[in-house]
Amino acid sequence: MALVLHGTVVTFDDDHRILDPGAVYIGDDGRLAALRTPTQRPPAGFSDAPHVDTEALILPGLIDLHNHIAYNTLPLWEAVGVPYLHHDRWVDERRPPDYSTTVTWPARVLGQAAPEL
């Protein structure tokens, strides 16, 4: 199904354009079909496509290889009352006891249950 995403579009073209506001048109095949501003006409075949206002930056073509995709399906975990002054500190013995049961274990199960691509 085709889809139109609205937001601030940061392009990776030679001109380094920023379309604010902008729209990203994604075709039925899941590929980028076009980038447009609100004053430009949509490409053919997108008249019935659903529109999503992301209220965010859209970076078409950027693949975030660091993000832990399984964590995107879990609710936001907050370490209440635990100050982390450095990024290495959260992995030591002061990690809150609920971290494994609410973050690590569910993410591991999701990763193991996901089909291979």
* Torsion 91-106-58-79 (CA) sign: negative
Please report, as a single letter, which amino acid is at residue 72.
N
What per-residue confidence (pLDDT) applies to 80?
A: 64
Decide if pLDDT at 23 tops 90: yes
Cα torsion through 27, 22, 8, 46, rounded to 10: -20
Looking at 34, 58, 82, the residue that finishes a domain is: 58
Q: What is the pLDDT of residue 54?
A: 92
Percent with pLDDT over 90 in the chain: 41
Torsion of CA 67, 13, 15, 33, to 10 degrees: -110
pLDDT in tens, 42-56: 999 998 999 999 999
Report whether pLDDT(92) > 60.
Answer: no
The more confident residue out of 109 and 44 is 44
Do residues 73 and 52 both lie within one domain?
no
Note down the domain range covering 12. 3-58
Number of domains present in the structure of the chain: 2
Are residues 79 and 54 part of one domain? Answer: no
Domain assignment present for residue 64? The answer is no
Write down the residue that tokens 């001109």 correspond to: 15
Q: Does residue 33 sit in the same domain as residue 52?
A: yes
The conformation of residue 65, written as its DSSP 8-state character, comes to S
Average pLDDT, the chain: 81
Looking at the whole model, is its pTM more than 0.75? Answer: no
Nearest CA-CA partner of 72 in 18, 20, 114, 24? 114
